[in-house]
């Protein structure tokens, strides 16, 4: 009994220490004047690795999720003779929930795990220490560009995901199942509000981008510098980031759309 309570205490302390180290890492990376012009090529390289290379998986999954939503929604809506509500159904589910959340999950799997493995290996092969030996701050040089690249790229990816998903819904709903094209768009325009739905979805994806990127960077920076440690850190990144995204999604949804 006492042992279990001790275990609980140890776990709590470990989590708190992890949070503290993550905050310190972020502070060290972002403290002081950011110099994006001097390190322009570093930022570009990371946006390319994190954002552009994730584009394909985002495009394909966005298209298919939009198509599946239209197909499933149509069978239910057709029973009530409300096929013209297919547009709002697809658009609202994508903009409010699926766009930000699925993008964040894919981003954690595609880019987050790569970030963790890369930084973990840098640590294991003592590249980070040798940078410090050369009086180059690894937090500013390695962590900061990756952080900004993640925070900038993911909301853009979520926007692309939404747009492609809505076009995918159009493909199935209008071109295949025969919903009226004008009805698809006009019902969507009547029911989707820019402020309420589009902007709130973007805010969600910015929050998720922050969470996923910080978790990925922290797990890599904090990894045990062995091959086993790096593999564990990579797994932890995907699991922790996915759970954190889902948890925060509920909180954000309750705040934005619950009232």
Instruction: Provide the binding-site residues for other proteins, judged by CB under 8 A.
Output: 41, 44-45, 47-48, 51-52, 55, 82, 91, 95, 153, 156-157, 159-160, 162-164, 166, 185, 188-190, 192-194, 197-198
Nearer to other proteins, 55 or 243 (CB): 55
Q: Is 49 helix (H, G, I), strand (E, B) or coil?
A: helix
Considering only CA atoms, which of 99, 78, 213 is closest in space to residue 156? 99
113 close to 184: Cβ distance less than 8 angstroms: no
Taking Cα atoms as reference points, which of 239, 238, 219, 217 lies closest to residue 229? 219
Find the shortest distance in angstroms from Cβ 16 to other proteins. 37
Cα angle at 158 between 249 and 176, to 5 degrees?
105
Residue 187 C-beta: closest distance to other proteins, Å = 10
Residue 10 CB, nearest distance to other proteins (Å)? 44
Pick between residue 28 and residue 97 the one whose CB is nearest to other proteins.
97
Our CB check for other proteins shows the closer of 49 and 233 to be 49
Using the minimum distance from each CB to other proteins, give the nearer residue, 17 or 189.
189
Q: Which residue has 């309570």 as its token pair?
A: 5
Minimal distance, residue 40 CB to other proteins, in Å: 9
Place of tokens 């910015």: 206
Handedness of CA 25, 28, 33, 39 (dihedral sign): negative
Q: Which is nearer to other proteins, 153 or 242 (CB)?
A: 153
Question: Which residue in the block uniquely carries the two structure tokens 């969600």?
Answer: 204
Q: How far is the CB of 215 from other proteins (least distance, A)?
A: 23
Rounded distance, CA 212 to CA 218, Å?
A: 10
């Amino acid at each position: 009994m006492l042992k279990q309570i001790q275990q609980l205490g140890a776990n709590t302390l470990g989590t708190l220490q992890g949070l503290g180290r993550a905050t310190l890492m972020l502070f060290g990376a972002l403290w002081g004047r950011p110099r994006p012009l001097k390190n322009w090529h570093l930022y570009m390289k990371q946006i390319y690795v994190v954002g552009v290379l994730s584009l394909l998986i985002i495009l394909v999954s966005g298209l298919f999720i939009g198509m599946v939503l239209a197909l499933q929604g149509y069978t239910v809506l057709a029973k009530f003779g409300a096929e013209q509500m297919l547009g709002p159904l697809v658009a609202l589910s994508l903009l409010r929930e699926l766009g930000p959340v699925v993008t964040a999950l894919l981003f954690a799997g595609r880019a987050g795990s790569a970030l963790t493995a890369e930084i973990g290996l840098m640590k294991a092969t003592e590249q980070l220490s040798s940078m410090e030996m050369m009086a180059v701050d690894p937090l500013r040089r390695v962590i900061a560009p990756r952080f900004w690249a993640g925070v900038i790229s993911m909301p853009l990816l979520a926007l692309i995901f939404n747009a492609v998903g809505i076009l995918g819904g159009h493909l199935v709903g209008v071109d295949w199942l025969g919903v009226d094209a004008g009805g698809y768009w006009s019902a969507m325009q009547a029911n989707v509000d820019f402020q309420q739905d589009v902007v709130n979805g973007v805010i969600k994806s910015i929050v998720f981008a922050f969470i996923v990127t910080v978790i990925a960077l922290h797990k890599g920076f904090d990894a045990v510098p062995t091959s086993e440690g790096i593999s564990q850190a990579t797994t932890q990144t995907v699991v922790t980031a996915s759970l954190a995204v889902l948890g925060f999604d509920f909180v954000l949804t309750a705040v934005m759309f619950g009232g």
